[in-house]
Amino acid sequence: MLIGVSGLNLLVRSENTIADIPIIKIRPNKAQPRKVFSEDELSALSRSISENGILQPLTVRKVSSTEYELVAGERRLRAAVMAGLRKVPCIVVKCSDRESAVYALLENLQRADLGIFEEARGIAKLIRRYGLTQEQAAIKLGKTQSTIANKLRLLRLSEEEQEWMEKAGLSERHARALIRIENETVRREVLSRIITENLNVKQSERLVGIYLNSTPKPSRVKGNSKAVIKDIRIFLNTINRAIDTMRLSGINAQSNKTDTEDFIEYTIRIPKSTLYSPDKSA
């Protein structure tokens, strides 16, 4: 029997039957792109396995006389462990390291809940490990080369920025808007505002545009070497970004802006209890 998956062929002998393999003999796939698994989903799947067993066998490949590598089915394997199973039904396939990595990525790409950065990191790892071009990776994964390139661009965001976005549940379109900002410090300030103000994609794109357009362009006055900055919004944005940064750091800063006839007044309140702990020895 020949299983074809986006240019990947896994050969399974037709005379083979599903084998029950001890879980202790199955090692995880190093190319597994998924790093985060929902505990609620695993618990639900574990209960289902306890009631009905594993309906869809795992896919493994033999790597030694006593060990198998998981090709597809890590969620089922983890849920089986939670259910207390010692053996799981498996289909043993013949495939190379590269085919195993592609298949593991494909299985996860077919699931809508794979994180945008998990997907991008998985593609990057596949390209790096096996020396593929973006075009070759696109063919293997059944995508266009431009789609692969766009997903890889997301990795321009730092690991910390990626973590913030994942925790906030932001989308790929949020990320694409952010990578337009090359300066990492400015980008983080924009990201903090997107998160604290719970901005949607269009609002985020508009905010990014404002930051990009408000970058001061110095003009020189004859006899004066200092840059002249006329737009007061630049300074107000700096204040807002500073407050957002404090909030992200756990400091419950509160601000109030008042427009009067002659002035713009800012009042900022920072609870001392969030800045330091009282000295008990005093």
Q: How far apart are CA 120 and CA 190, in angstroms?
A: 22
Taking only the tens place, the pLDDT of each residue in 117-148 is 988 988 888 788 778 889 988 887 778 999 99
Q: Are residues 161 and 98 in the same domain?
A: no
Structure-token pair, residue 211: 């930051």
- 273 is a domain residue: no
Structural domain includes residue 120? no
Active-site entry in 15, 69, 74, 118 = 74
Residue 269 lies in a domain: no
- Provide the domain count of the chain: 2
Examine residue 214 and state whether it is found in any structural domain, yes or no.
yes
CA nearest 77: which of 107, 119, 117?
107
Q: Residues 151-206: pLDDT tens digits?
A: 999 999 999 999 999 889 999 999 999 999 999 989 999 999 999 999 999 999 99
Report helix, strand or coil for 270: coil
Domain with 11 in it: what CATH number?
3.90.1530.30
Report the alpha-carbon distance of residue 2 to residue 210 in Å, rounded. 54
Whether 91 and 166 map to the same domain: the answer is no
Q: Is residue 178 part of a domain?
A: yes
The whole-angstrom separation of Cα 91 and Cα 124 is 28
Residues 164 and 105 in one domain: no
Structural domain boundaries enclosing 179: 157-218+228-248
Q: Is residue 45 in a domain?
A: yes
Whole-model pTM: value is: 0.53
Q: What is the pLDDT of residue 158?
A: 94
Closest CA to 267 of 253, 278, 257, 280: 257
Q: Taking residues 255-264, report their average pLDDT.
A: 71
Single residue among 114, 133, 167 that ends a domain in this structure: 114
What gap in Å lies between CA 216 and CA 186, rounded to an integer?
13
Q: Does the pLDDT value for residue 228 go beyond 50?
A: no
Neighbours of 136 (CB within 10 A): 16
Asked if 15 is an active-site residue, the reply is no
In this structure, are 13 and 100 located in the same domain? Answer: yes
**Residue position matching structure tokens 């807002």:** 240
